[in-house]
Structure 1
Amino acid sequence: MSNMQKKTDVILIGAGVMSATLGSLLKELAPEWEIKVFEKLANAGEESSNEWNNAGTGHAALCELNYTSENGDGSIDVSKAIKINEQFQLSRQFWSYLVNSNLIRNPQDFIMPIPHISLVQGENNVSFLKKRFEALSNNPLFQEMEYSDTPEKLKEWVPLIMEGRTSNEPIAATKIDSGTDVNFGALTRMLFDHLKSKNVEMNYKHSVKDIKRTSDGSWEVKVHDIDNGKIENHTAKFVFIGSGGGSLHLLQKTGIPESKHIGGFPVSGLFLACNNPEIIKQHHAKVYGKAKVGAPPMSVPHLDTRYIDNKKTLLFGPFAGFSPKFLKTGSNFDLISSIKPNNLLTMLAAGVKEMALTQYLIQQVMLSHEKRIEELREFIPNVKSEDWETVVAGQRVQVIKDTEAGRGTLQFGTEVISAADGSVAALLGASPGASTAVHVMLEVLEKCFPQHLKEWEPKIKEMIPSYGVSLTENPELFQEIFTLTEQTLGLSEKELAFS
């Protein structure tokens, strides 16, 4: 990195899927802009985006029951499910554009077709699922969804789950075949390979220590070169902080007013991974259940077929844990050092309000391997403990902020925080995260580059035909786009979904 130009147009902090997506969009919209990437680790996609650190679900609300809530009158609110599905369609369109333009290749290396199934037990849950099915299946985005409460049909859909099931408790499921398994680690590495070929400067093993505003309104980023120990200063007109759990600390260093009264609470994740190929063969779906009463949304149990390194595997979880680290590779002082005078009351208020979450995390941390197997047994009655091992997944930092709902409200979602002048933006939060990366990065463009939007809009619509359009209200456009992206990404080839 000697003789390196210190000034640039754009700095991306963190080599995860969010920075990769924003960089790829900007290189299409403003190819002449110079972009530098700084990543603390040795490679791209090693933290939150890594395939072992997230569920790998193409989140489109096809099976995730926490995106549909029951109203007081018993009706089902599907507005969030529709919104998330529309957002995932944007990702599919952009990925298809990249494939069609030969900017990335071999989509089967990062996305595979896999049925998405919701499965519930108990009279009340079955009633909820049926009402949810009726509310969603009228929408063009969910019209392929099927519902069944007959054991014979469920044995066809999920034989491993139904085998050995002796309970007389009502059971039901919905199934939609157009779901996907997404390897966000592989996608991230592909996107950064593409960016490197477009002369984006990649700086691995470079840790960002500080971000300060300069007199001319640019940002000076202080970077530690881990290999040689040197400190470097780089300035840019625009900085994006996309470093997962590390984003909050860096956002606080900017000192922008928008960074005040925001805190973060770290939650770690564990999965059970099946090590028996014969068991793995018997299951082919992502099956999501319903979170237990009092459990937070990120605790929804699911049994997932995954494709990692072109190999089929089977994971169950997540089991929550607690670590004060904000990143898997972070420091035990991350949580305490994130508490500042301006967010102390926000954090204290959250602590009082979220006693149930604290209790839940303590219970989860105390679970033994056998206790986790007992939870898996609700999905697979004939499960054998020796067929499963524990895998440590990634850290997620849930956003805490003051909202209309009150001080210290815990947010379960993804949020962009940007300066009023759009010169710096940070991504905070967790699920649905990577699945909606394109939508989130379009939001960054709208917030941070409003002066360019009119000029960029034709190119954005070329890459993402449904940009600015509701697919729910334009079913013919949805069907056309969905079919094209299915073909481009290889998702129409059902034989790819091998069991």
Structure 2
Amino acid sequence: MSNRQTKTDVILIGAGVMSATLGSLLKELAPQWEIKVFEKLANPGEESSNEWNNAGTGHSALCELNYTTEKADGSIDITKAIKINEQFQLSRQFWSYLVNRELIHNPQDFIMPIPHMSLVQGEKNVTFLKKRFEALSNNPLFQGMEFSDDPDKLKEWIPLIMEGRTDNEPIAATKIDSGTDVNFGALTRMLFDHLKSLDVEINYKHAVKDIKRTSEGLWEVKVHNNESGSTEYHTAKFVFIGGGGGSLPLLQKTGIPESKHIGGFPVSGLFMVCNNPEIVEQHHAKVYGKAKVGAPPMSVPHLDTRYIDNKKSLLFGPFAGFSPKFLKTGSNLDLIRSVKPNNVLTMLAAGFKEMALTKYLIQQVLLSNEKRLEELKEFIPNAKLEDWDIVVAGQRVQVIKDTETGGKGTLQFGTEVVTASDGSVAALLGASPGASTAVHVMLEVLEKCFPQYMMEWEPKLKEMIPSYGMSLMENPELLQEIHTSTAQALGLSQQELAYS
């Protein structure tokens, strides 16, 4: 078996939406750069980006209650909601640019308009939701949001959820029509087709085994060709590790100081999927509830209309589970292998701090289908078990690190990028809002890793993303213009109406 050795400008590890986005940006900014992609599976978007492995929500804080918190004085902090909404607007702009230039086609195959709703029960939660609505609805980013605690109005909005509801507990919802359902698997496949047409070398069934610094300062990536059994060595000036849950072990192999004192905790997920078309047709929204007391943010229950394989579906969940694997296709030894001398204390501190999470996961793992049905009935009182199947969703690895505010072993619930001080390697870690903010995250990678090119690239960046470097919240006219133009490009007529 001969060993292949090559040199290139950029290596992307993992054929998910993050690598697809970074590759697509770089090919617009530096078309002459040579890019190679290595993916251990047979196709792009098979792990975290796959449409069955994530919620498919265009996360823009329209309905996710965990992005708005109540402060001690009773006011609502909407800072995070604004940030995430602005980040999603960047994705919409870049996708529109690709569609308008016919670099990708048929946007309806990956993005659909769908109302985003928040639903709460109980007097305290209704008061919170009303305050949240008042705080958000005055902001141009959340224009068009409605609030109602009138059962008759809620029956119009969510008939399936209101039918058969017998308790007299106060109930309220917010609704905004400018939400989206995004098929990140379909988008990923489109972007890789686009990259392939630009002569990007995409290697499937190629597993990255090691990453080392060479004496010339390049990165050498050791790759196992799963088909031929041969070992290949590829060197590059820049390496991006976008392997979902598999990014942490590869980041650790680089040995960069920034990779120390970071751990990961894997969480698996399950969704209930409706198999009765009559029920699917009775619901048209993504409806997010509130996480139960003591439950982690990723456990927020939601009932979602989804569009998968050009078919309308209805999913409820997620139900959390535990697996020591970092990927669905990973190894049961992933978690134990990720514990290193430099992060063992961080991991132990997290274990001590997160006893409530551990207890929650154990309870979730032990849930029977009947118990899951009980949770579903909080959303759909008339739900029957025979109308629902169980689908295993993707693995998420929550980042554990030492922080100033949280101290040693703090569990992180966001998406973050770890970069070498010289910008020669970057890795994406974490979970939600993830894919929705892929463009923002990859712009961050460009700024950290290629600062010497940013001035030269700025005109092109502004052509692709008109609001680049600006706050849309502070420029409501530009926001309206962008909402209208991206709605038109992406075929989101409902959104266009909401902002006209």
The TM-score with structure 1 as length reference comes to: 0.98
Deviations 1:269-318 (A, max 9, x none): 00000000000000000000000000000000000000000000000000
The equivalent of 1:132 in structure 2 is 132
Structure 2 unaligned residues grouped into runs of 5+: none
* Alpha-carbon distance in 2 for matches of 1:124, 1:250: 45
- Whether 1:490 and 2:487 are equivalent positions in the alignment is no
* Alpha-carbon distance in 2 for matches of 1:32, 1:370: 57
Paired AA for residue 466 in structure 2: P
Paired AA for residue 322 in structure 1: F
Contact 2:17–2:49 (8 Å) recurs in 1: yes
Q: CA deviation at 1:233?
A: 0.2
* Alpha-carbon distance in 1 for matches of 2:143, 2:238: 42
- Whether 1:401 and 2:401 are equivalent positions in the alignment is yes
* Alpha-carbon distance in 1 for matches of 2:156, 2:488: 26
Deviations 1:113-155 (A, max 9, x none): 0000000000000000000000000000002100000001000
Q: CA deviation at 1:3?
A: 11
3-state SS of 1:232 partner: strand
Give matches, 1:171-190, under 5 Å: 171-190=171-190
Q: CA deviation at 1:494?
A: 7.8
Paired AA for residue 24 in structure 2: S
Q: CA deviation at 1:478?
A: 0.3
Give matches, 1:212-291, under 5 Å: 212-291=212-291
3-state SS of 1:19 partner: helix
The equivalent of 2:418 in structure 1 is 417
Give matches, 1:309-348, under 5 Å: 309-348=309-348
- Whether 1:61 and 2:34 are equivalent positions in the alignment is no
The equivalent of 1:446 in structure 2 is 447
* Alpha-carbon distance in 1 for matches of 2:221, 2:346: 28
The equivalent of 1:300 in structure 2 is 300
The equivalent of 2:154 in structure 1 is 154
Paired AA for residue 220 in structure 1: E
Q: 1:3 to 1:342 in 2, by over 3 A?
A: closer
3-state SS of 1:6 partner: strand
The equivalent of 1:191 in structure 2 is 191
3-state SS of 1:10 partner: strand
The equivalent of 1:433 in structure 2 is 434
Give matches, 1:31-110, under 5 Å: 31-110=31-110
* Alpha-carbon distance in 2 for matches of 1:288, 1:125: 13
* Alpha-carbon distance in 1 for matches of 2:143, 2:34: 44
Q: CA deviation at 1:493?
A: 5.5
* Alpha-carbon distance in 2 for matches of 1:289, 1:493: 23
3-state SS of 1:40 partner: coil
* Alpha-carbon distance in 1 for matches of 2:199, 2:392: 35
Give matches, 1:456-471, under 5 Å: 456-471=457-472
Paired AA for residue 112 in structure 2: M
Contact 2:122–2:171 (8 Å) recurs in 1: yes
The equivalent of 2:13 in structure 1 is 13
- Whether 1:455 and 2:456 are equivalent positions in the alignment is yes
Contact 2:117–2:287 (8 Å) recurs in 1: yes
Q: CA deviation at 1:2?
A: 9.6
- Whether 1:383 and 2:417 are equivalent positions in the alignment is no
Q: CA deviation at 1:4?
A: 7.0
Deviations 1:28-70 (A, max 9, x none): 0000000000000000000000000000000000000000000
Q: 1:438 to 1:372 in 2, by over 3 A?
A: same
Paired AA for residue 203 in structure 2: N
Give matches, 1:364-379, under 5 Å: 364-379=364-379
Paired AA for residue 126 in structure 1: V
* Alpha-carbon distance in 2 for matches of 1:474, 1:2: 58
* Alpha-carbon distance in 2 for matches of 1:2, 1:45: 30
* Alpha-carbon distance in 1 for matches of 2:17, 2:376: 30
* Alpha-carbon distance in 2 for matches of 1:142, 1:494: 12
Contact 2:272–2:389 (8 Å) recurs in 1: yes
* Alpha-carbon distance in 1 for matches of 2:213, 2:398: 27
* Alpha-carbon distance in 2 for matches of 1:457, 1:123: 50
The TM-score with structure 2 as length reference comes to: 0.98
Q: CA deviation at 1:402?
A: 0.2
3-state SS of 2:9 partner: strand
How many residue pairs match? The answer is 496
Q: CA deviation at 1:492?
A: 1.0
Structure 1 unaligned residues grouped into runs of 5+: none
Deviations 1:430-471 (A, max 9, x none): 000000000000000000000000000000000000011000
Contact 2:178–2:495 (8 Å) recurs in 1: no
Deviations 1:149-178 (A, max 9, x none): 000100010000000001100000000000
**Percent of aligned positions with the same letter in both sequences?**
85
* Alpha-carbon distance in 2 for matches of 1:400, 1:2: 40
Paired AA for residue 56 in structure 1: G
3-state SS of 2:278 partner: helix
3-state SS of 1:306 partner: strand
* Alpha-carbon distance in 2 for matches of 1:302, 1:39: 32
